[in-house]
Chain A
């Protein structure tokens, strides 16, 4: 086959399965490319390398591009234009991912493989990999774009290394691609560790409180990794192989005790990353204190690697049905209910912790932990709609959180603070950022018409049909808490009184606005037309052997009550139209007054009077539930650390003996006695 950029473009477009209307666009691209291909340099060098690129295994090509990104960032990361280059490269990675066509097509195995000491590592992409890789690269793409311009300039001025940031991001992306493509336990662990450490790098870049948080993260992450390694060892001891095929067989042959052990080991490892209770304490600070754009990436996808592990092993290999048969001894709970309850508590506790936060970044980061609970809850319900909701929430939440964090960091970029008590009234100064944040919080709270509503609806729906009332209530209570806290977020930043020092604040720079607005549009679109995202999820479900969700373009068809977002959004818009008609159509024209022209009980307001309700926002609620914040988990963490300290003290004491020979004598006696 003769290869030229034109045919490549054709193939790419064919791979995209675009509607016919895009033909014209393709034609323009094709024509402009024809000029390039006619040049001499192209026929000499470009042609060959292109053919090589086309001939490659698509997964290899993806890996190669990702590694190339890493390499280029390592070499050129210091340049001013590195940001743009990174955006292009992530875009190329996205194209490479699409060209694998593993979502609708058959899984593709990579030709890259490593063999060490009889153990082989290899990779393969299937629908699940595609789904997570798509989110990853997408997150990296928008993050890179967000960071490319003004943000990076500021970052450099603060004395930070642009190269380190780019490298950390590229490494995160690369590691994640390796992780989601893993085809055996070793490559899984390799990817896992790579992402863990890359995340650590990203968190620790700035130092200060971020470094402390990163260290805490590290303690959790490495413990989780060791649990994971223990689980891998257990599987290996039974199956004698690291291959997934053998793993599945091994798990099938395991006794209940073994499965329990495996569940605790693997589940513990994944739970740490996902931030499930009681391993959630590291996440908020670590994600919030990372450098802005890095925080966006981390918040969007990094914690999901824990979910990926749970999907592959606990949902895919052990299976929800097996979980249901695993009873907790001496109780009537099954392991599935246990996990579901952990998920539910993970929704509630961090969400209400978020309610207490005074820092926008922390608030969002705490919500990130809570939203992970929805995903797991949906997967644990295990029916078609529930698992689809869990999976879909991964995507919806990723775009939501990315948009939210971007908006918050845009505010930080302009005002220099994320303290909710130091902001206010910015809507007049940064209206577009406000819009992005508004879209984001509606989606995060799971209200129509945004993306978050769809996935949460699916989770609720499955909880009802599967008859899990308490979990349902827990999930809704979590949502209500989310509504409360996101309102606090948007109110304290954008609404209320504009502070004197923020009078001159400008709208976020364009380089940051474009990805933000793009994501907002995506949030709305994914809520308006959830069909495409549902089609991906359905493919993933099919591949995992789960029941496949009955989806249509607007949502879900089900005789027992479906969801059609196109209609819902339509009537909501119509409702708004009616509202606007009622409001604007009748009566006198409203007159804009100055913000300070307010009811103040007769007091005269000036700009320097602080006339804003922000601190202790939900005073009444806190008065009631405040005593419930006992910090039991912090206490647990502290007592664990104290135990470690005590054990270490004891161990060190052994090396502080006054007479070292005493230990020798004891050892000799013990050994000789043991010998007999």
Chain B
């Protein structure tokens, strides 16, 4: 046991040293912006999104985002597969106290609104589908924490999850049919900076937000069902 620890320490130190040696040769702080500069130059005009990060996220690298959604979906699916289902008669934790439930009641609408705002304004301001989706999930989870007896409708979450993801892909497929390319932005760009602008980007953003929200909420709800016994 101590041998392993010593070996690990030595290895770790060696790794750190080597990575730092590499770092000495890296162009930190003045990167060679080969693609990045190009994004900065044309992303705005081309996609009509003020937030270039979102433009890349949902536009240029929208396919990455699809993959990312899939990973989250896979994780959620796998988690639900592992965790199984709660027995109907399982004992539940008692509801939280007054402060907690009152706070939760207060926070729930607030989080909901903030989440929706961030999702919808993803193409304009910092934020986007993911960030907003997480906040949405948090809103539901706060409620759940305050009153564990309350349950989320797994079936509904599943529907939202599936349909939101499907919507993302269907938008892409629509583009494939329409334009010959999967996930090409289709709708008119509109005026940069306005809410309804940047073509299909906001739609994608909404789909992402819904999906992430539903998935995380489902995941957390599943985790909260800790009483689930073995099969």
Contacts and interface: CB of A to CB of B under 8 A. Distances in A.
A668 to B, nearest CB: 6
A24 interface: no
Interface in A638-676: 658-659, 662, 665-666, 668-669, 672-673, 676
Contacts of B27: none
Interface stretch (B12-20, B93-101, B118-126, B217-225): B12-20
B91 interface: no
A668 B17 CA distance: 12
B18 A673 contact: yes
5 contacts: A658-B4, A662-B4, A669-B15, A672-B22, A676-B21
Nearest to A659: B4
Nearest to A661: B8
B11 interface: yes
A672 B8 contact: no
Contact of A672 (B7, B12, B18): B18
B14 A669 contact: yes
Contacts of A662: 4, 7-8, 11
Contacts of A672: 15, 18-19, 22
Contacts of B21: 676
A676 B18 contact: yes
Contacts of A676: 18, 21
A669 B8 CA distance: 11
A662 B18 CA distance: 17
A668 B4 contact: no
A contacts with B: majority SS: helix
B25 to A, nearest CB: 11
A548 to B, nearest CB: 70
Nearest to A671: B18
Interface in B1-50: 4, 7-8, 11-12, 14-15, 18-19, 21-22
- In the A-B complex, list the 9 residue pairs whose CB atoms are closest, starting with the nearest: A672-B18, A669-B14, A665-B11, A669-B15, A669-B11, A666-B11, A668-B15, A662-B8, A673-B18
Contacts of B15: 665, 668-669, 672
A662 B7 CA distance: 9
Nearest to B19: A672
A273 B8 CA distance: 49
A659 B18 CA distance: 22
Instruction: Choose among B12, B18, B19, B22 the residue with the greatest number of A CB atoms under 10 Å from its CB.
Output: B18
B6 to A, nearest CB: 12
A676 B7 CA distance: 21
A666 B12 CA distance: 9
Contacts of A658: 4
Interface in A390-411: none
Contacts of B14: 669, 673
Contacts of A669: 11, 14-15, 18
Contacts of B22: 672
Contacts of B4: 658-659, 662
B13 to A, nearest CB: 9
B8 A665 contact: yes
Contacts of B8: 662, 665
A256 to B, nearest CB: 45
A337 B76 CA distance: 74
A629 B12 CA distance: 56
Contacts of B18: 669, 672-673, 676
A673 B22 CA distance: 11
Instruction: Choose among B4, B11, B21, B22 the residue with the greatest number of A CB atoms under 10 Å from its CB.
Output: B11
Nearest to B12: A665
A668 B15 CA distance: 7
Instruction: Choose among A662, A666, A668, A669 the residue with the greatest number of B CB atoms under 10 Å from its CB.
Output: A669
Contacts of A673: 14, 18
A666 B9 CA distance: 11
A662 B4 CA distance: 9
Interface string B32-75: 00000000000000000000000000000000000000000000
Nearest to B22: A672
Contacts of B12: 665
Contacts of A668: 15
A665 to B, nearest CB: 5
Contacts of B7: 662
A654 to B, nearest CB: 14
A659 B3 CA distance: 13
B24 to A, nearest CB: 12
B23 to A, nearest CB: 12
A665 B22 CA distance: 17
A536 B211 CA distance: 86
A676 B25 CA distance: 12
A676 B20 CA distance: 13
A619 to B, nearest CB: 59
Given A666-B11, A668-B15, 4 more contacts: A658-B4, A662-B8, A669-B14, A672-B18
Instruction: Choose among A658, A659, A666 the residue with the greatest number of B CB atoms under 10 Å from its CB.
Output: A666
Interface string B116-137: 0000000000000000000000
Contacts of A665: 8, 11-12, 15
A299 B30 CA distance: 79
Nearest to B8: A662
A659 B21 CA distance: 27
A664 to B, nearest CB: 10
B179 to A, nearest CB: 44
B132 to A, nearest CB: 35
A673 B21 CA distance: 11
A668 B7 CA distance: 14
A666 B10 CA distance: 10
A625 B120 CA distance: 98
A676 B21 CA distance: 10
Contacts of A659: 4
Instruction: Choose among B7, B15, B19, B21 the residue with the greatest number of A CB atoms under 10 Å from its CB.
Output: B15
Interface string A195-213: 0000000000000000000
A659 B22 CA distance: 27
